[in-house]
Structure 1
């Protein structure tokens, strides 16, 4: 089983409250990655 498959199974096993908390965390995580990419692009480099 790949790491991604393990993550998918773990997420699928979350209760609704845990899934909501995970979704909130993941959304913030993606926003942080986007901010870093925008900053890097503004400095003329790629991440």
Structure 2
């Protein structure tokens, strides 16, 4: 089965959920997606992908080019 077919099956299944099941699925998916994002962010930090961005931000801070939130 191709990814496109799998996606269509998932879309169909989700569209047929009861309101309660849809809420539960939405909660589960939000948690799942958040954890996946966290893992990717941690990987990017560990591999140095964000080093240049962090240095740029620190440079702006040292130069007084930041606003207090």
Instruction: Output the TM-score relative to the length of structure 1.
Output: 0.89
TM-fit CA distance, 1:45: 6.7
Instruction: Output the TM-score relative to the length of structure 2.
Output: 0.62
Which of 29, 34, 46 matches 2:32? 29
Write the distance in 2 (CA, Å) between the matches of 1:38 and 1:10.
30
TM-fit CA distance, 1:11: 0.1
Structure 2 residue runs without a partner (length 5+): 50-69
Report the counterpart of residue 9 of structure 2 in structure 1.
6
Return structure 1 stretches of 4+ with deviation > 6 angstroms: none
Larger radius of gyration: 2
Aligned-residue CA RMSD (Å): 1.8
How many correspondences in the alignment? 46
Structure 1 residue runs without a partner (length 5+): none
